[in-house]
Amino acid sequence: MFLDRDGTLTEPRHYPAHPDELVLQPDIGAPLRALQNEGYALVVVTNQSGLARGLLDTAILDAMHDRLRGLLDRHGVHLDGIYACSHHPDGTVHHYRKVCACRKPAPGMLYQAAHDLDLDLTRSWTVGDSACDIGAGHRAGTRTVLVGSRSSDAVPHLHGATTSDALWQLCLSLLGTSCRSPSPYRPHDRPETRGT
Ligand SMILES: [Mg+2]
Ligand SMILES: [Zn+2]
């Protein structure tokens, strides 16, 4: 599973630039765990042009992603990788200012992850809340799941009103009705952290 970060795994924010600004979307632990237990790798692919715009640096981004891993870990969900595009053609930070092959809807991050983690793109899915996510997933040859109602040139294979809905749709498609059975992961199952 290729998972967008902002607006998909976490609540939408305008250029989040601090770990505390990452807040998980509600009720995503159980479906992510179901997919993980089925053997799917969970890989975040995120456009972070805030680096090119000088709004944050790689140390902050690393701290944010440590927090994201920590938030998901509380639900027994373990990310197999996090890929971030730091570029933008109009960036103010010289070495990030460029047209790159990784900024979604380009499929570069998906190709890189597939190479690094030995993933079969034709058996992979891309989940995101924007047209660029669906476009990247489509171009990389994955199937796609759109969260929310934004329109996209590339029609997604599945759709959900919220991230939780979308992930359950995906579980249903891949695992059938058994995916809704009570999860075995109980000890740390507790309400999502809602900020600090
Ligand atoms: Mg997004
Ligand atoms: Zn890039």
List pLDDT tens digits, range 94-134. 999 999 999 999 999 999 999 999 999 999 999 999 999 99
The secondary structure of residue 192, as a DSSP letter, is P
Length of the chain: 196
**Sequence ranges of the domains in the chain:** 2-180
Query: Token pair of 11, please?
Result: 């609540």
Say which range, 34-38, 178-182, 184-188, has the weakest mean pLDDT. Answer: 184-188
Cα of 156 to ligand 2 centre, how many Å?
23
CA 5–ligand 1 middle distance (angstroms): 6
The ligand with the least distance to the CA atom of 103 is 2
pLDDT band with cut points at 50, 70 and 90 for residue 150 = confident
Q: Where are the beta strands (DSSP E) in 9-128?
A: 43-47, 81-85, 125-128
More confident residue, 35 or 151: 35
Q: 178 CA distance to ligand 2 centroid (A)? A: 39
* 140 three-state secondary structure: coil
187 Cα: distance to centroid of ligand 1 (angstroms):
31
Q: Among 166, 165, 164, 144, which Cα is nearest to 156's?
A: 144
For 17-54, what is each residue's pLDDT tens digit? 999 999 999 999 999 999 999 999 999 999 999 999 99
Burial of 115 (0-12, 13-18, 19+ CB in 10 A): exposed
Predicted local distance difference test score (pLDDT) of residue 195: 47
**More confident of the two residues 34 and 181:** 34
According to the CATH classification, is domain 2-180 in 2.40.420.20? no
